[in-house]
Structure 1
Amino acid sequence: MRGHTVAILLLPGASPIDVGIPTQVFARRHGLNYVVVPCAAEIGPVPGRDGLGFHVEAGLETLDGADTVIVPGFQNPTGPIDPRVLDALRAAAFRGARMVSICGGAFALAAAGILDGRRATTHWLNAGRLAREYPKVRVDDSVLFVDDGQVLTAAGVAAGIDLCLHIVRRDHGVQASNEIARVMVAAPYRSGGQAQYVPRSIPEPLGDVFALTREWALAHLEQPLTVAVLARHAGVSARTFGRRFVEDTGYTPMQWVLRARVDLARELLERTDLGVDQIAARVGVGTGANLRMHFQRILRISPSEYRRTFAAAPGGGPKLAEAGAAASARRSGAAAR
């Protein structure tokens, strides 16, 4: 099978961490079919930010055949961008390549017109500037990343990890994504709707308590979990818990629990032969009918379709069949984050 080419386009002043994140997540050593190719407008040295630079061996022609194009943040996002770069980005988007930005990379996609009419995000410090410079873009400064189907944008720094892992989940399923997260010692799953930055008017230890409560809930998904139960574990009132939980995660407690249950069901569909009814009971949604309903609403796919696409192959790895691309396309507009 032809590899899935991930072109990482380095612009002058490229952020080292934004470049490093996709090279780590999509590395060949993880055993998936990604082929990472750093590229730039010109072959050779590319100045980086924070005292680090790069040397690339591929030019803009890489974008001609790339399946995914990633633009990391760069030094001067509101300054002029090489017209050749903008033309190459437009051409890649026009032929259907998946277009991705991390942090200030959104400015390059916006300058190429790729974000016009779309919801997108960038680092909260630059979100206002992005909205002013490109009024056709529906800028959301309150989320970690936005999946708008063909075009995906992430907020700053660590949110790039969340988005790249989300892409792996779209392509290869939750088990593959979780395995890469473990290798990277990263959180396996932070939803795109989680808040970027929340001004705190409460002591930080309360946030630590909520993190422990979320961890506890993940270990008890098969049990009845209500706001009252979670608040009791956190040691706060249900009203306080509900309000602060939304600020921390972007979801209400019950929305978060449901998505965690669907996530666990995805992993069980991938790595076990349990029936849909058995999985539904194990993840706490009751019946197979309930599980099917939640899958359709959240993932736009049925449990059986998901299993056919992502269940472990005889060799032990995830299936990398063409069905995966079809399922990803069906889910591309879904709120699976």
Structure 2
Amino acid sequence: MAFSTSDLRFQNCGSTNNYTTNSIFSTNLFQALDNLSKYTALTGYNATTTGNLTGESVTALALCRGGLAPSGCQNCITDALSGIQAACPNQTAAQVWFDNCTIRYSGKKFLNKVDDSVIVNFGDWRLGPDPDSFKESALLLVQTLSSQAAVAEKKYSVGRTNITHNLMLYGYVDCTRDLDNTGCTKCVLTAIDAMKLSCLSKWFCWILTPSCNVQFNVDPVHQDWPNAPFVSSFMLMAPPPATLTVNSTRGGRGKGLKIKVSVGVVTTVILAVGILVMKARKRGMRMDPKSRGNEIEEAEELKRGGVGMRKFMYDLHQLVVATDNFSTSNRLGRGGFGIVYKVILIFFLPDTI
């Protein structure tokens, strides 16, 4: 599926209220859209509110596709400015999406607020090869890109992954840059949920919301896709530089284990953080002496801070919960894999320890 950058993909004329020519709102809208035309291309993003003192203010936002050159961004913004006025004439709220940019305006102040209502999803009638495996690869790709976009300075990420030995899947995720990490995460998770219900098995899928968009395609329809960063189906993260501690309670029933988890490279991650998986044992449960001896030995190693090579897997939803939506209060710093967060995991060890 080849795209033309000048094609209007979708419009949302979200208000039934109209403004009149030469009205105060019309004047403020003209100033806001002129601001977008002049100042978006250099950075790929601009947001403005005009007419605060008039009682009929206009908030407007323009966002170009991440990585797009300023000239390409300017071309798209010019087309989108014409497109939004033609598609939604005289409406007090509207948004248009082109392949390389989006423009939104409203009489209500929407900046820094998540709008994750799914406006539309595009999908190809063709199914991806080996649908079950394809769905798994597509989900991993968009989850990975979503977690990267949420913490990126420009709130976007692009990548590719293998689906067969000679076929690649390409993906792209972005959020409007007025959103913080938590807002972007919330938006893209909603988009991915919509993708699961509608087009995860399709050759091509594109979910649009006012605040974010998520897409994948077997065809490399954008210039930066063929050389986009590669996302492996099995990305291993090295042990984070953390001190493992076990806090015993009287009776030995609950042991708390504090670890530091680095997120930002993959959303379904495998953490090689040592011997951390212990099966819960109820008091009085029978086990053979050899098995119990092994568990006691492993627990003692944990208490000494020993690290082995067992692995865990977490998905994006679990990481969102574990980090309190990637809260800055849980942020420890930045490492080679991205931002490092503190989480608390609880494990159960044998009662005799």
Smaller-chain TM-score bracket = under 0.3
- The structure whose RCO (Cα within 8 Å, separation 6+) is larger is 2
- In our comparison, the structure showing a higher alpha carbon Rg is 2
What TM-score, normalized by structure 2, do the two folds share? 0.23
Give the TM-score normalised by the residue count of structure 1: 0.23
Greater fraction helix: 1
Which has a greater percent of strand? 2
